[in-house]
């Protein structure tokens, strides 16, 4: 029954180290993997959404720094450090909204600073160990999020989710989907309505695929159907992931999340956001401070090469929107449940077992 999705693997063979990424742009029709042996391939995979989801982006970027350090042209520790720092700066340009990317790169920069005077092998070893640590910590955080979140859902709950916050977006199990998977592990029956999530259909292509892999009853709906489904289908909860959360609890997530939260508020449906502590950006107070990525207009008017709008039409394509804290029932983290969602509670929970 339980199938684990492995979207990221760090391997070593006779030719050296490599980062293996499941190409999510091809799912569900084809399951193909990308072999990344240099930082440029990792950057492209992040930018083009071959790997996506805030935690998975951070993990992949950490390994990208390792690849740069391992292939540094200079044999000196200084040369390795310079190559790794350049890679970190380069990877930071791939996507602007997911805070996990910058969090992971800052951890890699700290390792570089700590081992700058070490020999070449030692700094490379330290970077690999840190990337592996980031990867394993995320795996553990996902399971802890699921354990906390499962306490919020009764048996036979009916849930709406948006975009993809499962094992494809993380090290394992996911954030929002970890709650659902953990309910299943505990013997609770759940039923899921998955927003297809335009313009790239992560909900129908990825979330529905993951849920069906686990044999969880799943119904795909258009984004615009969510309010109607809340009105007519006795929805018990909405659970989504996050790409960045501010100090007061405003949440940036895949475009369409804000509208879903507004509809949930009107219909008195609990609205939960599941995310690890690494997704919180306490340097920002309000959601309006979060940089919102603007993506290629072709994603809207010609997705996957299929023209859906006239040539020359203007396109507005923000990848994310911001849901204000007052619309969120609770934030589910690996350190506990934050409810009500406000700054003091956020600091208390995030400092717990930190």
288: number of Cβ within 10 Å: 11
In whole angstroms, give the CA distance from residue 145 to residue 65: 28
Residue 270 has φ and ψ, to the nearest 5°, of -55, 135
Count, residues in the chain: 354
Specify the pairing of strand 16-22 against strand 33-36. antiparallel
CB atoms within 10 A of CB 137: 18
Compute the distance between CA of residue 141 and CA of residue 242 in angstroms, rounded to an integer.
14
Q: Is 296 assigned a catalytic role?
A: no
DSSP 27-42: TTT---EEEE-SHHHH
The active-site residue, picked from 138, 195, 223, 243, is 243
For residue 160, give the nearest of 121, 126, 194 by alpha carbon: 194
Q: Report, as residue numbers or ranges, the catalytic residues.
A: 243
């Amino acid at each position: 029954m339980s199938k684990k999705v492995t979207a990221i693997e760090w391997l070593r063979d006779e030719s050296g180290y490599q980062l293996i990424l499941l190409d999510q742009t091809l799912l569900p029709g084809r399951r193909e993997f990308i072999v990344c042996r240099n930082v440029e391939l990792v950057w492209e995979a992040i930018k083009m959404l071959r790997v996506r989801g805030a935690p998975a982006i951070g993990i992949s970027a950490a390994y990208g720094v390792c690849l740069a350090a391992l292939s540094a042209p200079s044999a000196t520790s200084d040369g390795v450090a310079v190559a790794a720092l350049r890679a970190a700066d380069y990877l930071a340009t791939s996507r602007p909204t997911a805070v996990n990317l910058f969090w992971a790169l800052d951890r890699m920069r700290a390792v570089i600073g700590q081992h700058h005077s070490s020999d070449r092998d030692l700094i490379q070893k330290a970077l690999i160990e840190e990337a592996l640590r980031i990867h394993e910590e995320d795996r553990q955080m996902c399971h802890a999020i699921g354990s906390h979140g499962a306490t919020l859902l009764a048996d036979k709950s009916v849930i709406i989710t948006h975009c993809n916050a499962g094992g494809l977006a993380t090290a394992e199990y996911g954030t929002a989907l970890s709650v659902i998977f953990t309910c299943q592990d505990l013997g609770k029956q759940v039923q899921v309505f998955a927003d297809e999530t335009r313009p790239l259909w992560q909900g129908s292509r990825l979330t529905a695929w993951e849920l069906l892999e686990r044999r969880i009853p799943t119904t795909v709906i258009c984004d615009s159907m969510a309010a109607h489904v809340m009105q007519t289908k006795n929805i018990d909860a909405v659970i989504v992931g996050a790409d960045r959360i501010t100090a007061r609890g405003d949440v940036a997530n895949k475009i369409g999340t804000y509208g879903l939260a507004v509809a949930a508020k009107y219909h008195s449906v609990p609205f939960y956001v599941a995310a690890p502590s690494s997704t919180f950006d306490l340097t920002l107070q309000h959601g309006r401070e979060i940089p919102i990525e603007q993506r290629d207009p072709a994603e809207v008017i010609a997705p996957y090469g299929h023209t859906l709008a006239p040539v020359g039409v203007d396109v507005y394509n923000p990848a994310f929107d911001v849901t204000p804290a007052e619309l969120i029932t609770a934030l589910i983290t690996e350190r506990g449940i934050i409810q009500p969602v406000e700054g003091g509670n956020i600091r208390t929970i995030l400092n717990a077992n930190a």
